[in-house]
Amino acid sequence: MNTTKITGAQAVMKSLVAENVNTIFGYPGGAIMPIYDALYDYEDNINHILVRHEQGAIHAAQGFARTSGKTGVVFATSGPGATNLITGLADALIDSTPLVCITGQVASHLLGTDAFQETDVVGISMPITKWNCQVTKAEDIPAAIAKAFYIAQSGRPGPVLIDITKDAQFGEMNFTYEKCTAIRSYRPKPKLNRVVVEEAAKLINEAKKPYLLIGQGIMLSNAEKELVAFIEKTGIPVASTLLGLGAFPQNHPLYVGYLGMHGDYAPNIKTNECDVLIAVGMRFDDRVTGDVSRYAKQAKVIHVDIDAAELNKIIIADVAVHADAKEALNLLTELTKKKQHNSWLQEFNDAKKVEVETLQESAKELHSEELKMDEVIKMLSELTNREAVVVTDVGQHQMMTARYYQYNKTKSNVTSGGLGTMGFALPAAIGAKFGVPDKPVVAIIGDGGFQMTLQELGTILQSKVDVKIIILNNRFLGMVRQWQQMFFEKRYSFTNMVSPDFVALAKSYSIQAAKIEIREDLKENLLKMLNHNGPYLLEVMVAKEENVFPMMTTGASVSEVRLN
């Protein structure tokens, strides 16, 4: 094999090229300067996005990974640069997002001396990465990067971090690169056990009221077509978790809704009425289960997951299938009988009517003159032909979007699910646009979350990112205020939000912007935003004390979902 003598910093870049990396999000600094110097020679074939904060870099890389299906790549310097990645690492781990983060570090002889901008980022990030390591010798860099990409994107994906000391970046080495295809004792893709799948198929074939719950694992295993084939053969009603939205087209007659604390009424209550519950690529998050002691006790549970740690962790399965979703669904489709469950499906439709009628009555009583979040989302869904990539922040607007935007395309929903990170949406939307440059990307953000990462408007300005931004401004930290109203006697403790002139702020970054306050202006301004060539910010003033219903309160059963 041919070898070439180069520096460790150059080896980083050559290794990334070997992994087909064409987009990097980052922020330079002293300890990573040699790598940035090497990057200078790759401007023609690697697009580096200069963010305004390292948290922006990692959220952007998440958005890129979630839409493109590739591994997001991040550069950051030592000390505060590296620690600014921590929130994003935690977010990416819990939401199974593949990232490779490369941080600079002080020279190896200074490790442990409290040198300028030194932190033990490997120790800090260990609980929130799928794997991490520190490299102190140039010759170890290619193997570390190869291993990082293999671990990040295999099995259940997740973030990895490589911390490279400055002397390793400067050191010389004979460069060779071999992609990693296996690691001893690491088995990311389990072997499908046909006998176990046969047990699952037997339960499904005998079921009178089977019910399927799907999560992001469907998309991570590229099992969307296999899911449709399984559903259309078995006739089983299917509901989605927050991160699973888009894995199954919502205009399909067998789709019955969105699960969770603010999910749809029917999918939640029917969990405690089915006789066989099948969960594929989802992890029974507490926002989905409510009170576990009262969750689906009447049902036989089949759980399919690629991560063995998720099986029997929260809900004990009668049949636990440790498998890739695509392979499991293929075999289940082969082994199950063709059926229809029309009367069972009608129960979901009847419950949906109850929800719609109740929410319509509530809307008439409350603030009927004020513009509502759901109105904005429904119209956006219609005007984008339900085909935009929608990136949401965290809060009421996130739940409203999950409820009222109709996701018919895979990888079209980008949100912070497990960690619930405010400030996620703006940088994630930037990354999402680089992931799918030919698709419209719309960020929907609350006035609170927007102000956590609004500096990334500078990234939009410099990198000319065509993202559309909708701020749903209710002048509150809305979700916290809703809980204060319902459970703390309307003691609105520090949730009232005073904001700057968002339109003027956007225009100072050369971003076109407008503000609307009445519903008569909504459609015209949404169309203007969507048709604009370039980034656009639309601030929509919505009702101050609008609440999100249905709602399953903490400690409640899925059968106790409140409609008002």
Q: What is the mean pLDDT of residues 193-210?
A: 98
Residue 542, exposed/middle/buried by CB under 10 A (0-12, 13-18, 19+)? buried
Q: In the numeric block, which tokens belong to residue 500?
A: 């700057």
Question: What's the confidence (pLDDT) of residue 369?
Answer: 82
pLDDT at residue 362 tops 90: no
Round the average pLDDT of the chain to a whole number and report it.
96
Catalytic amino acids? 54, 116-117, 166, 479
pLDDT bracket for residue 282 (50, 70, 90): very high
- pLDDT tens by residue, 63-108: 999 999 999 999 999 999 999 999 999 999 999 999 999 999 999 9
First to last CA, the chain: 69
- Tokens linked to 304: 């399919």
Q: Treating both helix axes as pointing N-terminal to C-terminal, what angle do 522-531 and 373-383 enclose, rounded to 10 degrees?
A: 50
More confident residue, 167 or 369: 167
Confidence of residue 365 (pLDDT cuts 50, 70, 90): low
Query: Alpha helix locations (H) across 40-128?
Result: 54-68, 80-83, 86-94, 121-125
Within 8 A by CB and 6+ apart from 320, the residues are: 196, 303, 311, 312
**Does the pLDDT value for residue 307 go beyond 90?**
yes
Domains of the chain: 5-174 (3.40.50.970), 194-348 (3.40.50.1220), 367-541 (3.40.50.970)
What global pTM score does this model have?
0.97
Q: How far apart are CA 264 and CA 355, in angstroms?
A: 8
- Dmax (CA) for the chain in angstroms is 75
Least-confidence region, from 41-55, 153-167, 351-365 = 351-365
Query: Nearest CA to 426 among 395, 392, 377, 399?
Result: 392
pLDDT at 360: 81
Query: How many CB atoms are located within 10 Å of the residue 508 CB?
Result: 12
- Given this model, what pLDDT does residue 366 score? 61
Q: What is the pLDDT of residue 2?
A: 55
For position 3, what pLDDT does the model report?
Answer: 64
Q: What's the pLDDT band for 254 if we cut at 50, 70, 90?
A: very high
Q: What is the mean pLDDT of residues 446-464?
A: 98
Instruction: Say whether 460 sits in a helix, a strand or coil.
Output: helix
Question: Residue 72 in contact with residue 101, Cβ under 8 Å?
Answer: no
| 184: helix, strand or coil | coil
Is residue 557 very low, low, confident or very high in pLDDT (cuts 50, 70, 90)? very high
